[in-house]
Structure 1
Amino acid sequence: MASDEVGEGFVPEGFEPPRELVGEGFRLEPLGPQHNASDLAAWTSSIEHIRATTGFEKWSWPPLEGMSAEENLSDLTRHAQDFVERTGFTFTVLDPGTDQVIGCVYVYPSKDPDHDAQVRSWVSADRAELDGPLAAAVAGWLADAWPWERVDRHGR
């Protein structure tokens, strides 16, 4: 979607952001403070794996030294507020059988003028087999249910 069609916002006025995606072996829902303990466990157990994931190689997250539960809670609260304000959309990736956090999907405005949005996703090291299927499902979902035409998938 061209920037003049969305005005100043990341999504058009009146657009209702989808709140769930269900795929084989995962379910997405908006990330929030309620996921703190499970989210912290998922990414801190997989720092090297996440940093090696396509799209994260040049990112400073996750921090090698980890975070406290309070710092992680602050991060999750910020992501939840971005969702409310429609400035970015972060989804937790849950195991559909246990609701344990197994990854995350970030959809934010692109800083590259050739793209409307950018998406990154990660899964925990113990769920590495879901990386490709998750990225493919999210790509289809963004194309079908979201308003952008030019999404930077960071090589996926």
Structure 2
Amino acid sequence: MLNARTRAPHGLVRTAFIATPLTTDLVEPDYNAYMASPEVIGAHSDGRWPIDGFTLDDNRALVAIHQADHEAGRAFTYLLMNPTRTQSLGCLYLNPLRDYLVRVGAAPETLQQFPAESAMVTFWLRQDMEHLTTDVATAVDDWLQNEWPLRRALFRALPAEHESIAAFESLDLVSVALELPEESRPYRWYRSR
């Protein structure tokens, strides 16, 4: 997603939350937020991410993959935490948009709109913290526009992610229609103005 010479910002600090790279040192707070949010996780993943029987060790293995991808510049995962860094509020993901578009059969003219330095941006917040959704969306949108070396970024959400959709629309982000013949999920896409 980023070339070898460019680096992702280390983190984001705001009054209500911080975003810090997800590492194996943060497995426990990440796991606690995940397990405290089954409805949010179900909506965000369209039921693909496990809850029942998902263990701390399972999470540790996934976090190690996220950390390796982050360090290599392939994809970026940030843990959203309260300002005192004592509780995880959720996760923020920046994944390569172009790779995704190729996987789901986007037409060449769609691919031409999105250079390699384009990100697909998603996030979830624990169920008792969804009131922060607009704050997170606002801060992340600003961060992407002003501090990231990206050419394009699209926020992605499923219709069941009501808080995210409402936040994107309240921010007056532009809805983007993408023809994705091999994608069965009804994702909604948004970009900055």
Identify the TM-score tier after normalising by the shorter chain. Answer: 0.7 to 0.9
The letter for the 1-side match of 2:89 is I
* Structure 1 counterpart SS, 2:156: coil
Aligned pairs for 1:56-135 (under 5 A) are: 56=44, 58=46, 60-61=48-49, 63-110=50-97, 111-112=100-101, 113=111, 114-115=113-114, 116-135=118-137
Tell me: CA distance 1:42–1:66, structure 2 relative to 1, closer, same or farther (3 Å). farther
- What is the TM-score normalised by the length of structure 2? 0.68
Q: List runs of 5+ in structure 2 lacking aligned partners.
A: 102-110, 158-167, 169-193
Aligned length: 143
Tell me: CA distance 1:131–1:94, structure 2 relative to 1, closer, same or farther (3 Å). same
Q: List runs of 5+ in structure 1 lacking aligned partners.
A: 1-9
Percent identity between matched residues is 27
Following TM superposition, the consecutive aligned residue runs of length 4 or more in structure 1 with deviations greater than 6 angstroms are: none
Contact 1:20 1:28 in 2 (8 A): yes
Tell me: CA distance 1:24–1:31, structure 2 relative to 1, closer, same or farther (3 Å). same
Contact 2:7 2:73 in 1 (8 A): no
**Which has the larger Rg?**
2
Rounded to whole Å, the distance in 2 between the matches of 1:100 and 1:145 is 25
The letter for the 1-side match of 2:17 is F
Give the CA deviation at 1:102.
1.1
* Structure 2 counterpart SS, 1:154: strand
Tell me: CA distance 1:134–1:84, structure 2 relative to 1, closer, same or farther (3 Å). same
| RMSD of aligned residue pairs (Cα, Å) | 1.7
